[in-house]
Structure 1
């Protein structure tokens, strides 16, 4: 569970406020139960449709709180960036809620084949989650929203994410402020069969690019000859 600075200050001073946050977390968790099932269905159907075997590389769940007075898309994106970096922390000392699974030989080879894997996957997580959060709207207009997404990362890796958000008011702790809660569940899976397909697609694209370049050069040459 994470907090914006204002939330962290309140939590440090008042036990009752910490209990309130736990209540909100439990409420959103119950609301989002259907979203979690939808995420698992998305994972199952994606690989069933492709006919691919798959295994989990990394997965986790994080909950973040932010006061409406602290809310800005930049602050939300900072939280998302921190989540992305947490995905690639020390596997022996991972943040709570983040788990890295054991690598297989094929997975290890795929990881080595991706330059700047950590930076690339973190950027993808950032893009997907921030895009969803941005579509939810600002804290002042936030009502319960939820969405599931999948995004191929290349070399057989694929991101699955579920994002749920809601806002709450409390006369006990705030006067005119409200508190926003964001819950993220994400899993990165690996499929050697999807990796093979992606490699074929890349080779095909390279050929297509070469053919396009050849046609362009041929047309340029014909135009020059015609002018002469």
Structure 2
């Protein structure tokens, strides 16, 4: 993250604009410090209330500045995907997973112990993280009053990994520098912890339940954006008709992005839910001899006949969790 090309060009040409951006940078640093403190409080509450071991695996803090002709979350999404790729591959400690070089050797070993589970859940995890972080930041793509908005969330991933993230942003109207343009400044701070105790507790059903809550958050955000769009456009029709087209386009972009991210989560969620629902419905008819359970019938259903290889691995994981419950 950083600054869009348009903002970088303007800094080179305009001393007053450089001074404005330096002021934004100072404010952003203070906001990052505040968000990190909030995350650390949330981390302490989460693990202490459950009595779980925990250690920091990675984390980073970033600020981004965009003017609205260049608005987009491509850089944010690229960061999320690159971290997910490196985690799934076990490529840490490395610069690909920011802050992982500060993790202790025992923490790295603990995380790699559960790498296989994380890799199996990779698509769902990346879709969930991308949707919620992008959704939190999409509110800054829209013309608004100069007020700061902040958000704090945490996501249990898999294999004992837990992501804590916070975001904050503000929209500035600066006609001094860009004709009829807005500048968005936002911060994102994220920290990931690993816990062997949490790995034992967080199974497929809890991951699915958490994903359902996240989908509800995204659906609520879509409704909120629609409400704000209707209110803003009504005001513009009365007061500032020349801004109607650009404002509607900004809202439409935020809606399209949020719905696309939500749909990716739904697609991955449904893959899991189909398998777990099938296992639950046919549980008494399955051949469970590989789990030390005598077959209920001579014609018991074979797991590998019901599912493709990825689904079969998930089915076996779900069965083990059911039998251990």
Shift of 1:191: 0.3
Counterpart among 171, 192, 198 of residue 196 in structure 2: 192
Shift of 1:22: 2.6
- Residues 144 and 200 from structure 1, CA distance in 2 versus in 1: closer, same or farther, beyond 3 angstroms? closer
- Residues 2 and 198 from structure 1, CA distance in 2 versus in 1: closer, same or farther, beyond 3 angstroms? same
The structure showing larger relative contact order (alpha-carbon pairs under 8 Å, at least 6 residues apart) is 1
- Preserved CA contact (<8 Å) 1:7 1:66: yes
CA–CA distance in structure 1, aligned partners of residues 143 and 127 of structure 2: 27
Does 1:168 pair with 2:172? yes
CA–CA distance in structure 1, aligned partners of residues 184 and 5 of structure 2: 13
CA–CA distance in structure 2, aligned partners of residues 91 and 15 of structure 1: 41
- Residues 194 and 128 from structure 1, CA distance in 2 versus in 1: closer, same or farther, beyond 3 angstroms? same
Matched residue SS, 1:141:
coil
Larger deviation, residues 82-91 vs 58-67: 82-91
CA–CA distance in structure 2, aligned partners of residues 153 and 20 of structure 1: 39
The C-alpha deviation readout for 1:122-172, integer Å capped at 9, x for no partner, is 4443122112123x3533126310010000111100110000000223354
CA–CA distance in structure 2, aligned partners of residues 113 and 215 of structure 1: 26
CA–CA distance in structure 1, aligned partners of residues 185 and 4 of structure 2: 11
CA–CA distance in structure 2, aligned partners of residues 110 and 18 of structure 1: 47
- Preserved CA contact (<8 Å) 2:149 2:168: yes
- Alignment root-mean-square deviation, CA: 3.4
Does 1:213 pair with 2:209? no
Larger deviation, residues 10-19 vs 167-176: 10-19
Shift of 1:25: 2.1
Q: TM-score, normalised by structure 1?
A: 0.74
Larger deviation, residues 50-59 vs 122-131: 122-131
CA–CA distance in structure 2, aligned partners of residues 156 and 128 of structure 1: 20
CA–CA distance in structure 2, aligned partners of residues 177 and 207 of structure 1: 49
Task: Quote the residue 2:76 is aligned against.
Answer: 80
Task: Quote the residue 1:225 is aligned against.
Answer: none
CA–CA distance in structure 1, aligned partners of residues 122 and 23 of structure 2: 34
Shift of 1:27: 1.5
Task: Quote the residue 2:156 is aligned against.
Answer: 152
- Residues 216 and 188 from structure 1, CA distance in 2 versus in 1: closer, same or farther, beyond 3 angstroms? same
CA–CA distance in structure 1, aligned partners of residues 38 and 29 of structure 2: 14
Matched residue SS, 1:174:
coil
The C-alpha deviation readout for 1:175-202, integer Å capped at 9, x for no partner, is 3222101100001110000001124967
Q: TM-score, normalised by structure 2?
A: 0.54
* Unaligned stretches of 5+ residues in structure 1: 218-228
- Residues 164 and 177 from structure 1, CA distance in 2 versus in 1: closer, same or farther, beyond 3 angstroms? same
CA–CA distance in structure 1, aligned partners of residues 16 and 176 of structure 2: 10
Q: As a proportion of its length, which structure holds more strand?
A: 1
CA–CA distance in structure 2, aligned partners of residues 33 and 91 of structure 1: 24
* Unaligned stretches of 5+ residues in structure 2: 207-272, 287-325
